[in-house]
Amino acid sequence: MEPFKKLLGSRKFWVSLLTAVTTVVAYYRDPELAKMLMAVGLTMVGGLGLEDFGKAKLPEAPSDEYEEEEEEEEEEE
């Protein structure tokens, strides 16, 4: 049951689903509009994917101890 909760809480899932539905509905009214909606949705999903990738790869912030050591070395010189 956990994977379904994760899926339903995913912004990429909801954006993809909404994009698919609006594209299908818009296609019957205006195919060019459907193409534009698809482009916007895919761009948004790609952006969310990059955001998630960036969160996973964030380096840890430098510790205060490291900065203090540098300051002490500069003072000694």
The predicted structure's pLDDT at residue 63: 58
Residue-wise over 27-38: b if at least 16 C-beta within 10 A, else e? Answer: eeeeeeebeebb
* Contact in structure between 16 and 42 (CB atoms under 8 Å): no
Q: Pick 27 or 76 by higher pLDDT.
A: 27
The predicted structure's pLDDT at residue 53: 80
Rounded to whole angstroms, the Cα distance separating 9 from 5 reads 6
Each residue's pLDDT tens digit, 9-68:
778 888 999 999 999 999 999 999 999 999 999 999 999 888 888 777 666 665 555 555
Rounded to whole angstroms, the Cα distance separating 23 from 17 reads 10
Count of domains observed in the chain: 1
The encoded tokens of residue 30 equal 């205006």
The predicted structure's pLDDT at residue 62: 58
The predicted structure's pLDDT at residue 17: 92
Domain enclosing residue 23, as ranges: 2-76
